[in-house]
Structure 1
């Protein structure tokens, strides 16, 4: 029997190698052509789990947040909804789900609120399985300034094992050249459901390209009008000893919407090098509209960073899920896209 062991090992190696060789590496966007806004992607034990915004709609199983799975980032399978709506009010909007794994438990962070007064909070749900179903823990995350608009939570695990939480909130002042609007903040997590209450500003809008709407009426501020700018959807990557906080900016329904970044030497900043335009990913007239609100993950072989993002279909009836390689250049990170023709991730 022992003399057969090398043969068995060779056969197993051949099976694994053949399976990996059979995985497709070429794709054409969109990789998922149904509605999949704000794709938050978690890689766990060789499977990618993508969670998408469902707004005030429900999946056929009655849950919220569409769940897709893939082993190669190209072929995606539907898994139903992630979370039973924790609030009976059917007017509630559910946005921007993103999952994290810690110590045997999966955590789903998401935003919930109403459009009539633009008041949103971030809540947390847990599950023993990455695809769910998740159960809301009944408590909203709190932050130091008690922001009425509190969205797009992004958990980040640093090298020392400490979790941090990036999120978007509103600012009204224009100190130091900042624009009134939505910006990004970071806080330390005491545990996976509690913030330290020490929020620090990461990035705020400063340039024209991030304009969401001129003379925007803000109902939660008594109907006051602002030239409102938006920076949202943080996603953090550590690369060559520096921390890159990627974000989406501008109005998600326009050609101006896209992805930029700021960079720092530590996870809490100070962050700098904000772009005067969307340097990483931006729309292409008559081809791609509104690419953004992305995740960044590695290919299965670990060789390439990939942005997973949404972009509008031609009729602007849904936001489809797309992917493109992310390249680290001497000028900073740049996305190879948004692509509309075949791309090979293996190149």
Structure 2
């Protein structure tokens, strides 16, 4: 494949991705679905200039630098006040580690989860226009549900009094094999809050949709034409995404995982496609995904 072309999937052995753009380079963190041995327990970091061609830059967080010993899933990355913060789940509990470099090493200064007695996964940082930070994540009840809260000033915890349940699976496409709303990712667009998420069991017809609110903690109204990303005859299990932009901020992209092929889930693989807002005659702008695309296509922009 020529350097100015690519074909999905763009990276093997990864799931549950998150990306940050920092000083001219994209850094990607993901669940490692193809570990060779225990030395890869934790999170790798990958680098790219164009979102299509990725380089393995080694371990960003090692298990020894965190609470927990296994099931390192779904990292989420931000940079603020001179520090990188990595939020992630380990043994179905949430942890936050920090580093001075996007390459790591990320270290959890106090090795304990956010809530020792509550299982939680799929955390996501979001900063509102007024500078307030929020954390979104999943809790388990009779379904996988999305919750949110304001963060503490040190960005290492949440303000418990603000904890709010935001989404529960209540439509047919979200309830295949198990009722699931998970993998939250927030966008602020024209004063509205777009909470994107994935639905249904990850082994089933997994997909992604969104809900809209006037406030970062709801009430959220689900888009009537969800899901906006769904499996087709060529690719299965698409979901758990992050969203990023081109260096000039003109174009928006969705990075998500898919099953290894049509017959088995793991090791999962990453794909990247365009996502955009489209204006409507009535009501808020809608989110549209151009994908999943599986044919060769030009790189979105030049490195």
Bin for the TM-score computed over the shorter chain: 0.7 to 0.9
Structure 1 position 73 matched with structure 2 position 22: no
Structure 2 residue aligned with 1:216: none
Paired residues of 1:61 and 1:80 also in contact (CA < 8 A): no
- 2:206 — aligned with what? 257
1:209 and 1:302, CA in 2 relative to 1: closer, same or farther beyond 3 A? Answer: same
Answer yes or no: is 1:37 the counterpart of 2:15.
Answer: yes
Query: Any conservation in 1 of the 2:7–2:295 contact (CA below 8 Å)?
Result: yes
SS at match of 2:16: coil
> Would you say the 8 A contact 2:48–2:55 is kept in 1?
yes
Instruction: String of CA shifts for 1:101-120, please: whole Å, max 9, x gaps.
Output: 1101111111011xxxxxx2
Q: Which residue of 2 aligns with 1:332?
A: 286
Secondary structure at the aligned position of 1:190 is classed as coil
How has the CA–CA distance of structure 1 residues 57 and 272 changed in structure 2, closer, same or farther, with 3 Å as cutoff?
same
Q: Is the 8 A contact 1:25 1:74 kept in 2?
A: no
Counterpart Cα distance in 1 of 2:290 and 2:129: 28
Unaligned runs of 5+ in 1: 1-22, 114-119, 172-179, 214-227
Shift of 1:61: 5.2
What secondary structure does 1:325 align onto? strand
Does 2:158 correspond to 1:195?
yes
Question: Which of 189, 192, 198 is 1:248 aligned to?
Answer: 198
Greater helix fraction, Structure 1 or Structure 2 = 1
d(CA) in 2 for partners of 1:323 and 1:55? 18
Moved more, 71-80 or 265-274: 265-274
Distance (whole Å) between structure 1 residues aligned to residue 37 and residue 187 of structure 2: 31
Matched, 1:288 2:235: yes
Cα distance, 1:72 vs. partner?
1.3
- TM-score (ref. length: structure 1): 0.77
Q: Does 1:298 align with 2:245?
A: yes
In 2, Cα distance between equivalents of 1:69 and 1:322: 15
Structure 1 residue 313 displacement after superposition: 2.2
Decide whether the 8 Å contact of 2:76 with 2:86 is kept in 1: yes
- Tell me which residue corresponds to 1:272: 221
**Distance (Å, rounded) in 2 between the aligned partners of 1:230 and 1:83:** 28
State the Cα distance separating 1:25 from its structure 2 match.
Answer: 5.9
Give the TM-score normalised by structure 2.
0.88
Aligned equivalents of 2:94 and 2:132: distance in 1?
A: 20
Change (3 A) 1:242 1:53: same
Q: Do the aligned residues in 2 keep the contact of 1:168 with 1:182 (CA within 8 Å)?
A: yes
Equivalent in the alignment of 1:218: none
Cα 1:267–1:52 shift into 2, 3 Å: same
The SS at the match of 1:135 is coil
Describe the superposition over 1:236-266 as per-residue Cα deviations: whole angstroms up to 9, x where unpaired: 0111211100001111122x10000001112
Q: Structure 1 pair 62/309, CA: closer, same or farther in 2 (3 Å)? A: closer
Cα 1:260–1:168, aligned 2, differ >3 Å: closer, same or farther?
same
Contact kept in structure 2, 1:207 and 1:276, CA below 8 Å: no
Shift in Å at residue 139 of structure 1? 2.8
Structure 1 CA distance for aligned equivalents of residues 45 and 37 of structure 2: 10
Secondary structure, counterpart of 1:209 in structure 2: helix
